[in-house]
Amino acid sequence: MNANGCIEFKSDIGCARARWMGGGRPTGGPCHVELEVRDVVDWGEIERYAHPVERIEEDALGVRISGTVMEVDELGVLSLRLGRTLLLVDTEGMPPSDIVGASIAFRAKELQLYPECV
């Protein structure tokens, strides 16, 4: 864990850094977590893909999250499938009418991890 409380995590859908929101330091072993995107993502910044991609990756520009849109509710909350889990993301703007089922990607400035260790 660095001075900002960030850790690097690895999963079957990729790896990145996120702020650890659990008490104390993570154990370093397997742990079930809830991933939260702290940003509100603008629909104008979301890219669409022709082929399904479900991945989290970090590069020099930040964290890129790619997944399949399962739903966008009336409050603008996006349900994005990433592997075997759903990620809920707050959005702003108007989503395209045909977005459900589409493969999309966006950049996140800050991720947080909440432990559900077993």
**pLDDT of 12-69, one tens digit each?**
999 999 999 988 777 777 888 899 999 999 999 999 999 989 999 998 888 999 999 9
Whether 6 and 96 have beta carbons less than 8 Å apart is answered as: no
| Distance from chain centroid for Cα 71 | 15
Q: Is 91 helix (H, G, I), strand (E, B) or coil?
A: strand
Q: Domain residues of the chain, as ranges? A: 6-115
28 Cβ contact partners less than 8 Å away, ≥ 6 residues apart: none
pTM score, two decimals?
0.89
Structure tokens at 63: 């964290």
